[in-house]
Amino acid sequence: MRYTWLGHSAVRLEIGDQVLLIDPWEDGNPLFPKDRRDEANQGTTAILITHGHLDHTGNVPALAKELGVPVYGIYDLMAWWGESEGIETVGFNKGGTVQIGDVAVTMVNAAHSSSIGTDEGPLYTGGEAGYMIAGEGRTVYVSGDTDVMADMGVLQDLHAPEIGILCAGGHFTMDMKRAAYAASKLFKFETVIPYHYKTFPLLAQNADELKAALPGVTVHDPEVLVPISL
C-alpha cells in the first residue's frame, strides 16, 4: 500500500489492484506541481470525491474524461455530473459499500457542508462524507472535511481502521488538537497522516502538535509527491 499527498486534500492511494485519486484538486491547488501532473495521475483506476467544494472537485470532470476512469461519490453530485458532464459516475450514499476491484469502499458520515458555486449562487451537491477503504487486509479511514464526531466511535467499532488520513488544518475543518482527540479517544490508529493543511496561511503549517499528542502512533508529515509506504 502506498500513500502520496498531492497537496491540500488531494490524495493518491495505491491499494490492492487499484490506484485511487481522492479529491484530486489539481488546477488552482497552490501546492500541486503542474509539471509532475502525469506522475501524479499515472495508472489511476478511479476517482473518489468526499464533497462538492471547489478545493475538492476542481477540474475533476475534465480529469475523469482525460483518464477515462469512473468517479465515485454521493449520489446527488454523481447523478448531476453524469448528466451534465457526460462522465461515468457511481453514486452511492452513507453506509453504502461499493467494490472497486479488490478494494471495498464504504461511504461514512462527516460533519461539514457541500456545495459548488454557480452564476446563480451556491448549488447544494448532496451531503459531505468520508470513506473507509479496505484492501490488502487493512482499512484506511479518509476523513474528508469534518469536525470531531461521536460517530467516529461507531466507525471504529464497525471498521477498526489501522490508518487514519485526517483533515487537521483548522478554520474549515478539525485542527491538530481536535484531530488528535479523534485519533486518541475515538479511533485506535497505528498510523496517522494529516491533510487539508499547509495550503494557505490560515491553516496549520506542520504536524508538530499532532505528533506530540499521539505518542506510540506513527504520524507522518508528508511532502507533496513523496510516496509513503504503509
Return d(Cα 28, Cα 36) in angstroms, integer. 14
pLDDT at position 118 is 86
Q: Are 63 and 118 in contact (CB under 8 A)?
A: no
pLDDT at position 83 is 95
The model's pTM is 0.96
Cell of 103: 478494494
Q: What is the 3-state secondary structure (H, E, C) of the chain?
A: CEEEECCCCCEEEEECCEEEEECCCCCCCCCCCHHHHHHHHCCCCEEECCCCCHHHHCCHHHHHHHHCCCEEEEHHHHHHHHHHCCCCEEEECCCCEEEECCEEEEEEECCCCCEEEECCEEEECCCCEEEEEEECCEEEEECCCCCCCCHHHHHHHHHCCCEEEEECCCCCCCCHHHHHHHHHHHCCCCEEEEECCCCCCCCCCCCHHHHHHCCCCEECCCCCCCCEEC
Cell of 29: 491547488
Domains in the chain (CATH in brackets) are 2-220 (3.60.15.10)
pLDDT at position 169 is 97
Per-residue tens of pLDDT for the chain, all 230 residues: 999 999 999 999 999 999 999 999 999 999 999 999 999 999 999 999 999 998 899 899 999 999 999 999 999 999 999 999 999 999 999 999 999 999 999 999 999 999 988 888 898 999 999 999 999 999 999 999 999 999 999 999 999 999 999 999 999 999 999 999 999 999 999 999 999 999 999 999 999 999 999 999 999 999 999 999 99
- Report the C-alpha dihedral over residues 77, 81, 87, 93, rounded to 10 degrees: 20
Tell me the per-residue pLDDT of 64-93, one tens digit each, with 9 for 90 and over. 999 999 999 999 999 999 999 999 999 999
Q: Are 76 and 51 in contact (CB under 8 A)?
A: no
